[in-house]
Amino acid sequence: IPTLNEENYLPLLLSSIQNQTYEPIEVIVADSSTDSTPQIAQNAGATVVSVEELNISLARNEGARAAQGDILIFCDADCILANDFVERLVASLGDGVVLSHGSHCVYDDGFNNFLSAYWKYLKPNRWTTGRGVAIRRDNFFAVGGYDVSCDPTEGCREDLALGVAVESFFGPG
């Protein structure tokens, strides 16, 4: 979970992670905050990795390096996950599936609820989002992880770039 001053959002996400039907779940927060975000994460039992540079791709990659599991799930701090979100996302990584992304992340505003519904009907495709991406650890590092040169101020989306990298490396699927 990459974070930058997410003290108002992170508690809801962490609570939804604690209520998952899938176990065990290791939570890594890759943090660049100046607010109480890292303390909130630590109090909830998450491992906090400090990321000095403000780069969401770098934060996601640092979190992946710190994780111990064979399956990595990336999620944004402003999500609230359904209780079976992780279970279903892990199950979707069946034979031949390299990367999967969820469509059931709830946000607090109507616009993002619309986007969530829109993305649901676009699956399956190579496009991913930050709201719930699952990939096996070895596949993630095989494609080089998230592209740290991807600059959102220049219109680059690190989440979409990961989907393109996976398709380029493994083929369409």
Q: How many CB atoms lie within 10 A of CB 101?
A: 25
Bond preceding residue 152 cis, omega within 30 of 0? no
- Expressed as residue numbers, the domain containing 65 is 2-170
User: Can you state the angle between helices 158-170 and 56-66, rounded to 10 degrees?
Assistant: 60
What tens digit of pLDDT does each residue of 126-169 get? 445 556 899 999 999 999 999 999 988 888 888 888 988 998 99
| DSSP string for residues in 38-100 | HHHHHHTT-EEEE--S--HHHHHHHHHHH--SSEEEE--TT-EE-TTHHHHHHHT--TT--EE
Q: Please tell me the total count of domains within the chain.
A: 1
- Residue 134: CATH number of its domain: 3.90.550.10
What tens digit of pLDDT does each residue of 46-64 get? 999 999 999 999 999 999 9
Higher pLDDT, 125 or 48: 48
pTM: predicted TM-score of the whole model, two decimal places: 0.84
What tens digit of pLDDT does each residue of 13-42 get? 999 999 999 999 999 999 999 999 999 999
pLDDT for position 129: 56
What tens digit of pLDDT does each residue of 66-111 get? 999 999 999 999 999 999 999 999 999 988 889 887 755 555 554 4
